Amino acid sequence: MIIGFLLRTGPYTSQNVDTCYHLAKRFLAKGHGVRMYLYEDGVINLHKEIKSPQERNVPEMMTELAKAGAEIRACGTCARFRGIRKADIIEEAKQAGMVVFAKYANECDRFLSFGF
* Domain ranges (residues) in the chain: 2-114
Q: At CA 66, angle to CA 81 and CA 55, rounded to 5?
A: 70
What pLDDT is attached to residue 70? 98
What pLDDT is attached to residue 13? 82
What pLDDT is attached to residue 58? 93
Model pTM above 0.75: yes
Mark 14-27 as b/e (b = at least 16 C-beta within 10 Å).
eebbeebbeebbeb
Tens digits of pLDDT across the chain (116 residues):
999 999 999 988 889 999 999 999 999 999 999 999 999 999 999 999 987 777 789 999 999 999 999 999 999 999 999 999 999 999 999 999 999 999 999 999 999 999 98
Q: At CA 87, angle to CA 94 and CA 5, rounded to 5?
A: 30
CATH code at 2-114:
3.40.1260.10
- State how far the alpha carbon of 64 is from the alpha carbons of 26, 58, 115, in Å: 12, 10, 22
